[in-house]
């Protein structure tokens, strides 16, 4: 390990990039279309729609912007409430605050790490406008249960699929169940554009609003005429070129990640019981191979020990209700506290070798004796 640059021999994640990304990016440079216009934006959107089997897709600058755009398109605003798991990444909740709405937290299940579907209904009020599912670490909750709640209460369903590209629920790709859904293409995601996001929906009216909000609110065919306050959330042609290359080899990347998970499972042996696994209704993307450490293990010491051996791992998210900016009166989320304190994400790069996984598992098995 290079101590000066803090470079790990085994990072927690490296994207799968090769000649195809270089080819498409070079084509962008040759064409001089390097900003938010160009052929690759349209091509990426169309291929993404086809891959997950949805009607409309709209690129944007990142996953956080995607959630912001989704909320704006649904008309969610100050005074509204959005139900969301407390065990999530902060961007999910920040975007709710961007539109002036209030996040209402729900605990997660200890076995799936996903929002507890059975606790959602109790949090619905007259102010509730949407339920936002977050498919944490490439897994999903029982979505059909949540759909029934949303329909009964006549509220929107949003899916945050930032970590779940390639995940299926009952043979349908996640992101196709909600009124509107979002994806992230950050460098550590299953497919990447460096920075980028996507908003998807089967309802054209929502994507039309997304396209207007991401493009400074310009009125079509009226030049520099704008009739709403909006944003510059457009993806560049260069980022879209990388995205197109990634989506064209997505099946291969997902296959590699599946093999990585099962290699961990094999070499952890009896300790594989601590891994976050697929449910009976899920086909996971295995974005990150994740483990819930026993109470007896000091996670901090384990992380430091792995770091000394050149292995990078990541602790799980702090539950949102534990952050000073999101503290609420209701703090009874015991499972989320457990997941936040004992969860650990292991190296999961698509090209991670079996030899390196064995090396990691040997260290973990010594700790988990």
Q: What would the pLDDT profile of 344-357 be if each residue is shown by its tens digit?
A: 999 999 999 999 99
Q: Whose CA is closest to 81, among 151, 130, 132?
A: 130
pLDDT score recorded for residue 7: 65
Dig out the tokens for 101 from the structure. Answer: 């709405």
Predicted pLDDT of residue 49: 98
Residues of the chain with CATH 3.40.640.10: 19-248
Is residue 260 within 8 Å of 352, Cβ to Cβ?
A: yes
Task: Please name the fold of domain 250-367.
Answer: 3.90.1150
* pLDDT cut 90: percent of the chain above it: 93
Q: Give pTM, 2 decimals.
A: 0.96
Residues in the chain: 369
Give the per-residue pLDDT at 4. Answer: 45
| 218 close to 226: Cβ distance less than 8 angstroms | yes
| 43 pLDDT more than 70 | yes
Please name the residues in contact with 24: beta carbons below 8 A apart, sequence gap of 6 or more. Answer: 40, 241, 242, 244, 245
CA nearest 60: which of 229, 212, 190? 212
Element (DSSP H or E) covering residue 161: none
Picking from 251, 93, 110, 234, the residue whose alpha carbon sits closest to that of residue 162 is 93
- Read off the pLDDT of residues 45-54 as tens digits, 9 standing for 90 and up: 999 999 999 9
Sheet holding 128-134, edge to edge: 56-60, 197-201, 180-184, 156-160, 128-134, 81-85, 102-106
Query: What pLDDT score was predicted for residue 6?
Result: 54
pLDDT attached to residue 369: 83
β-bridge pairing 180-184 and 290-292: unpaired
Give just the sign of the alpha carbon dihedral 188, 197, 158, 146.
negative
Q: 172 in helix, strand or coil? A: strand
The whole-number pLDDT of residue 134 equals 98
Dihedral sign from CA coordinates of 247, 251, 256, 259: positive
* Contact predicate 236/214, CB 8 Å: no
Task: Give the E-state strand segments of the chain in sequence order.
Answer: 56-60, 81-85, 102-106, 128-134, 156-160, 168-169, 172-173, 180-184, 197-201, 282-283, 290-292, 314-315, 343-345
67 has a pLDDT exceeding 60: yes
pLDDT in tens, 98-149: 999 999 999 999 999 999 999 999 999 999 999 999 999 999 999 999 999 9
CATH 3.90.1150.10-classified regions of the chain: 250-367
Place of tokens 């704008």: 226
The two tokens of residue 82 are: 């959005």
Q: How many CB atoms lie within 10 A of CB 302?
A: 17
pLDDT digits (tens, 9 = 90+) for 166-204: 999 999 999 999 999 999 999 999 999 999 999 999 999
| Phi/psi at 174 (5° precision) | -60, 150
Residue 149 near residue 119, CB atoms below 8 Å: no
Give the phi and the psi of residue 82 in degrees, each rounded to 5: -125, 125
Which one is the CATH code of 19-248: 3.40.367.20, 3.20.20.70, 3.40.640.10, 3.40.50.300? 3.40.640.10
């Amino acid at each position: 390990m290079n101590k000066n640059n803090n470079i790990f021999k085994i990072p927690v994640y490296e994207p799968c990039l090769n000649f195809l990304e270089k080819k498409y990016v070079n084509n962008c440079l040759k064409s001089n279309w390097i900003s938010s216009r160009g052929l690759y934006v349209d091509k990426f959107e169309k291929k993404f729609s086809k891959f997950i089997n949805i009607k409309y897709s709209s690129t944007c600058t990142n996953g956080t912007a995607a959630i912001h755009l989704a909320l704006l398109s649904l008309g969610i605003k100050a005074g509204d409430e959005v139900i969301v798991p407390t065990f999530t990444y902060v961007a999910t909740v920040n975007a709710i605050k961007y539109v002036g709405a209030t996040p209402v937290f729900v605990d997660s299940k200890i076995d799936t790490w996903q929002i507890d579907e059975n606790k959602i209904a109790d949090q619905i009020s007259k102010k509730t406008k949407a339920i936002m599912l977050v498919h944490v670490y490439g897994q999903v909750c029982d979505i059909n249960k949540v759909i029934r709640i949303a329909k009964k209460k006549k509220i929107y369903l949003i899916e945050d699929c930032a970590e779940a590209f390639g995940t299926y629920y009952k043979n349908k790709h996640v992101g196709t169940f909600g009124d509107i859904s979002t994806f992230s293409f950050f460098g550590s995601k299953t497919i990447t554009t460096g920075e980028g996001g996507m908003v998807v929906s089967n309802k054209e009216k929502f994507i039309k609003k997304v396209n207007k909000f991401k493009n400074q609110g310009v009125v079509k065919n009226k030049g520099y005429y704008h009739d709403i306050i909006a944003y510059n959330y457009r993806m560049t042609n260069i980022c879209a070129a990388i995205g197109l290359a990634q989506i064209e080899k997505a099946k291969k990347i997902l296959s590699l990640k599946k093999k990585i998970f099962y290699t961990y499972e094999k070499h952890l042996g009896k300790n594989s019981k601590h891994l976050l696994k697929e449910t009976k209704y899920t086909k996971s993307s295995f974005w990150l191979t994740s483990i819930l450490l026993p109470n007896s293990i000091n996670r901090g010491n384990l992380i430091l020990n792995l770091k000394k051996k050149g292995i990078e791992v990541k602790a799980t998210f702090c539950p949102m209700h534990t952050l000073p900016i999101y503290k609420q009166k209701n703090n009874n989320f015991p499972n989320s506290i457990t997941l936040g304190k004992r969860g650990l994400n292991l190296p999961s790069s698509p090209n991670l070798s079996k030899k390196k996984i064995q090396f990691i598992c040997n260290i973990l098995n010594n700790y988990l004796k």
